[in-house]
């Protein structure tokens, strides 16, 4: 019944991609980037070159492995986006908590770009596809389809034979219980402990594990969805949520702005809603709702200052969804509804930069999107820069400086222990899993680069540039080279005496940071250096240090600046004076546990165990597990990991298993 198995290997895929680029372009950077990927791609050359791989001759390009990645090529998608573009998705899914599967239909409206009638190739991962229909408008008929060979990083291509003129395809499928982009939580893992919970996390390449589609940030689509849930639960999505929607087990959504697949998101749980402002509110389990709404009450202000300075908010509402603590990230910028870890509800707004960050993605990321994961710095670097600016607008200069200085220190730490090739902003991810290359480089190096531009041209001028940039590329996916070309037309042309193109290229394409790069510092921090030193020298006791006015940021700076080795007595003294093992602030607890693990400080063992089991945020877990492995505590790492594993998200299991057990 099925046509022959479709089986492209990754090397063929890359070979074909490179073949589509001229040799001159291969050395100089590919010329395809002249045109950003447009909102409406009909008149544009699509930036993706992953198209012909299915029929391309076997690895004809000898340069496939050594040449630079081609700008505008998404090496992490099988989709033939030069032939077809998905324009709209209609999703109808039932959440079956008993079997841990999402089951239903995805209907894709497609636009044909190809001259002939090639098959449509979609991305999937561990999907059970049961039927595919295709045709024109409402007239859909069963068609032949086949799943190719599974690639360990990319999943499985789904090849669909389309009848001539087809502009719609309907795929019936169900997800696997281990879907990489879905976590099914037992009631025990939630705040209320009575109801199950489900959330998806599509970035970077996990949308394909719960929807068959062109899973590449180059393709934008609008969507409608019907989500069917157990009666007592509420479903929310990265779309037009209605807090008044009745709990009748059926929820309807619409996302009228075109978004890339990695921003499609679903959350289901025992969720209530509380408004925080006119356009902002929180969805959370009732147990967390009040605390979350209080902690994040400045969200509306953040939204307003960002609009004033960087242009209109184009997504209607901005709400937050507070997830259970197994959420593998701090936050995820799903449009209209950022997904947020509960571990930042510290009680004193000390960790709300996370909200500023996810909100800022409404401009950098969701409005202007990286064309491929190589260009992630366009999302995260701009967002980190904007985050700092928002924090300054809302909380003032001192907070701004401290946030910047901590970011700089994070960058230095990453620069110290990454291979050169991974310090490059436009990173070469070919053949690699984006989840495993996650670092501070696109965030903090990207942000520092923009800060340098700001310093050189002046803040007012730079803000004007940013405002124009967001307008110019709104609702488009762009490459690093599109950005550079834009910079040439704008700032580089306006300020030839202040900016230097070679230096800008050094920032983007070379490891490390250029000599003379800015070094953000804060007086509130530097004044702590002698205090720490005096204590280390035994000149003052810990309990004599006047910490009454210290902010969270200062505590973090104080702890992160401790030397590698501390004695048992020193650790005890710190802990007794400041009660660090019991800190309620998860960032402080994390910094302290890093010190404790490095120095095998046994009184923190129980807290470490509890922290690793109850929190799934990889920003904390990865360094802690790595630290255990590197400090002779492999058995402890394994024991805790095995205990915690049933509650971890699939991504958390994957990246931390690698740390603990290797490949
Ligand atoms: N979009 C990211 C999360 C992400 C990036 C997921 C790449 C998958 C691949 C999100 O906006 C983010 O950066 N979260 C950070 C926030 C922090 C830098 C304030 C996090 O989760 O720690
Ligand atoms: Zn981000």
Using DSSP, how many helices (H) and how many strands (E) does the chain show?
21, 21
Closest CA to 430 of 5, 11, 8: 11
Q: Would you call 244 exposed, middle or buried from its count of C-beta atoms within 10 A (0-12, 13-18, 19+)?
A: exposed
Q: Which atom of ligand 1 is nearest to the CA of 365?
A: 1
Across 143-162, average pLDDT: 98
Q: Does the pLDDT of residue 523 top 70, yes or no?
A: yes
Dump strand ranges (E) for 161-202.
Answer: 168-174, 182-185, 197-200
pLDDT digits (tens, 9 = 90+) for 315-333: 999 999 999 999 999 999 9
Q: Rounded distance, CA 110 to CA 399, Å?
A: 48
Best mutation site among 153, 260, 330 for ligand 1 pocket (most ligand atoms within 8 Å of CB): 330
The reply to whether ligand 1 has any atom less than 6 angstroms from the CB of 381 is no
Measured from the CB, is residue 380 less than 6 Å from ligand 1?
yes
Q: Which residues are catalytic?
A: 358, 443
**CA distance readout (Å), 663 to 604, 654, 657, 659, 660:** 30, 10, 8, 8, 9
Cβ of 329 below 6 Å from ligand 1: yes
Q: What is the per-residue pLDDT for 436?
A: 87
Distance CA 521, CA 403 (A): 9
Look at residue 11 and tell me whether its pLDDT is greater than 60: no
CB 313 within 8 A of CB 299: no
Statement: residue 42 has pLDDT above 50? no
For residue 182, give the 3-state DSSP assignment: strand
Q: How many CA atoms lie within 13 A of 246 on its CB side?
A: 2
Residue 61 has pLDDT above 50, yes or no: no
Distance from C-alpha of 33 to C-alpha of 30, rounded to nearest angstrom: 7
Domain segments of the chain as ranges:
368-509
Would you say residue 532 has pLDDT above 60?
Answer: yes
Tokens representing 15 are 């070979």
Mean pLDDT to the nearest integer, 526-539? 98
Higher pLDDT, 60 or 287: 287
Pocket test for ligand 1, best of 153, 331, 352, 359 (most atoms within 8 A of CB): 331
pLDDT of residue 20: 35
Percentage above 90 pLDDT, the chain = 89
Closest ligand to 587 CA? 1
Percent of the chain with pLDDT over 70: 90
Q: For residue 542, list its beta bridge partners.
A: none
Q: What is the pLDDT of residue 23?
A: 27
Q: Which two tokens stand for residue 309?
A: 């300075």
How far does the centroid of ligand 2 lie from the alpha carbon of residue 380, in Å?
5
* pLDDT at residue 24 is higher than 50: no
Segment 114-134 shows an average pLDDT of 98
Flag the least confident range among 19-33, 321-335, 438-452, 611-625: 19-33
Q: What angle do CA 312, 289, 178 make, to 5 degrees?
A: 85
pLDDT digits (tens, 9 = 90+) for 272-300: 999 999 999 999 999 999 999 999 999 99
Rounded Cα–Cα distance for residues 281 and 319 (Å): 5
Q: Kindly report which listed range (40-44, 320-324, 545-549) carries the lowest average pLDDT score.
A: 40-44
Q: Whose CA is nearest to atom 17 of ligand 1?
A: 354
Q: Are the CB atoms for 191 and 342 separated by under 8 Å?
A: yes
Where do we find the tokens 């994040």?
296
Q: Which tens digits make up the pLDDT trace of 69-114?
A: 999 999 999 999 999 999 999 999 999 999 999 999 999 999 999 9
Residue 333 C-alpha to ligand 2 middle, in angstroms?
7
Decide if pLDDT at 372 tops 80.
yes
Report CA(298)–ligand 2 centroid distance (Å). Answer: 19
Residue that the structure tokens 């180059």 belong to: 218
Which of 17-21, 119-123, 154-158, 214-218 is least confident? 17-21
Q: From atom 11 of ligand 1, which residue's Cα is the shortest distance away?
A: 332
As a whole number, mean pLDDT of residues 575-585 equals: 98
Q: Is the CB of 354 under 6 A from ligand 1?
A: yes
Segment 16-45 shows an average pLDDT of: 32
How confident is residue 66, by pLDDT bands cut at 50, 70 and 90?
A: low
CATH 1.10.390.10, domain 368-509, yes or no: yes
Give the separation between CA 577 and CA 540, rounded to whole angstroms.
Answer: 12
113, β-bridge pairs: none
Buried/exposed 472-484: b ≥16 CB within 10 Å, e otherwise: ebebbbbbbbbbb
The residue whose C-alpha atom lies closest to atom 14 belonging to ligand 1 is 331
Nearest CA owner, ligand 1 atom 3: 332
Please tell me the predicted confidence (pLDDT) of residue 244.
97
pLDDT at 81: 98
Q: Ligand 1 in contact with 620 (CB < 6 A)?
A: no
pLDDT at residue 663, rounded to an integer = 73
Please determine, for residue 17, whether its predicted confidence score (pLDDT) is greater than 80: no
Residue with CA at minimum distance from ligand 1 atom 2: 332
Q: Model confidence at 49, in pLDDT bands (50, 70, 90)?
A: very low
> Do the Cβ atoms of 426 and 374 come closer than 8 Å?
yes
Contact 214, 86 (CB under 8 A): yes
Which mutation among 261, 351, 357 tests ligand 1's pocket best, with the greatest number of atoms within 8 A of CB?
357
> CA geometry: angle at 364 spanning 360 and 369, to 5°?
140
pLDDT, mean of residues 403-419:
97
> Whose CA is closest to atom 21 on ligand 1?
330
Pocket flag, ligand 1, residue 17 (CB < 6 Å):
no
Distance 332 CA to ligand 1 centre (A): 6
**How far is residue 93's CA from residue 226's CA, in Å, rounded to a whole number?**
6
CA distances for 279 relative to 231, 245, 337, 635, angstroms: 28, 17, 11, 49
């Amino acid at each position: 019944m099925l046509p022959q198995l479709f089986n492209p290997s990754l090397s063929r895929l890359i070979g074909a991609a490179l073949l589509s680029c001229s040799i001159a372009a291969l050395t100089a950077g590919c010329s395809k980037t002249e045109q950003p990927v447009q909102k409406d791609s009909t008149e544009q050359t699509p930036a993706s070159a992953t198209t012909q791989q299915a029929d391309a001759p076997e690895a004809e390009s000898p340069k496939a492995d050594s040449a630079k990645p081609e700008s505008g090529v998404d090496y992490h998608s099988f989709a033939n986006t030069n032939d077809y573009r998905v324009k709209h998705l209609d999703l109808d899914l039932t959440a079956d908590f008993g079997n841990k599967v999402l089951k239903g239909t995805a209907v894709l409206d497609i636009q044909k770009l190809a001259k002939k009638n090639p098959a449509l190739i979609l991305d999937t991962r561990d999907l059970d596809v049961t039927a595919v229909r295709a045709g024109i408008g409402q007239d859909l008929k069963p068609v032949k389809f086949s799943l190719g060979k599974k690639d360990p990083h990319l999943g499985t291509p789904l090849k669909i034979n389309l009848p001539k003129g087809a502009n719609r395809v309907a795929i019936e499928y169900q997800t696997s219980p281990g879907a990489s982009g879905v976590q099914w939580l037992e009631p025990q893992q939630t705040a209320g402990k009575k109801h199950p919970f489900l959330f998806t996390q599509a970035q970077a390449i996990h949308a394909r594990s719960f929807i068959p589609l062109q899973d590449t940030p180059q393709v934008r689509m609008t969507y409608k969805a019907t989500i069917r849930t157990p009666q007592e639960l509420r479903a929310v999505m990265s779309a037009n949520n209605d807090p008044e929607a009745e709990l009748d087990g059926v929820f309807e959504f619409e996302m009228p702005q075109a978004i890339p697949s990695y921003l499609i998101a679903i959350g289901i749980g025992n969720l209530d809603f509380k408004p925080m402002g006119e356009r902002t509110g929180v969805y959370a389990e009732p147990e967390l709702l009040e605390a979350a709404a209080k902690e994040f009450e400045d969200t509306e202000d953040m939204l307003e200052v960002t609009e004033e300075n960087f242009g209109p908010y184009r997504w209607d509402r901005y709400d937050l969804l507070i997830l259970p603590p197994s959420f593998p990230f701090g936050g995820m910028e799903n449009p209209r509804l950022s997904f947020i870890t509960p571990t930042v509800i510290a009680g004193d707004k000390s960790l709300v930069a996370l909200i500023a960050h996810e909100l800022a993605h409404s401009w950098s990321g969701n409005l202007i999107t990286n064309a491929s994961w190589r260009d992630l710095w366009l999302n995260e670097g701009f967002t980190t820069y904007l985050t700092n600016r928002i924090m300054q607008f809302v909380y003032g200069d001192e907070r701004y400086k401290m946030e910047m200085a901590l970011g700089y220190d994070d960058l230095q730490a990453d620069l110290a222990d990454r291979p050169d090739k991974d310090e490059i902003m436009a990173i070469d991810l070919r053949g690699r899993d984006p989840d495993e290359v996650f670092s501070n480089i696109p965030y903090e190096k990207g942000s520092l680069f923009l800060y340098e531009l700001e310093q050189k041209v002046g803040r007012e001028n730079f803000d004007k540039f940013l405002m124009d940039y967001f307008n110019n590329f709104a609702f488009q996916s762009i490459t690093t080279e599109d950005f550079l070309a834009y910079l040439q037309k704008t700032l580089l042309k306006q300020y030839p005496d202040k900016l230097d193109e070679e230096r800008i290229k050094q920032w983007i394409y070379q490891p490390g940071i250029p000599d003379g790069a800015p070094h953000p510092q804060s007086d509130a921090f530097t004044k702590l250096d002698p205090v720490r030193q005096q204590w280390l020298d035994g000149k003052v006791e810990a309990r004599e240090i006047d910490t009454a006015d210290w902010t969270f940021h200062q505590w973090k700076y104080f702890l992160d600046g401790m030397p590698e080795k501390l004695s048992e007595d020193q650790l005890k003294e710190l802990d007794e004076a400041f009660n660090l093992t019991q800190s309620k602030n998860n960032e402080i607890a994390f910094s302290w546990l890093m010190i404790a693990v490095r120095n095998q400080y046994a009184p923190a063992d129980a807290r470490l165990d509890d922290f690793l089991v109850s929190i799934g945020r990889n920003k904390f877990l990865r360094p802690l597990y790595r630290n255990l492995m590197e400090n002779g505590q492999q058995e402890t790492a394994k024991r805790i990991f095995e205990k915690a594993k049933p509650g971890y998200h699939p991504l958390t299991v994957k990246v931390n298993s690698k740390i603990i057990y290797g490949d």
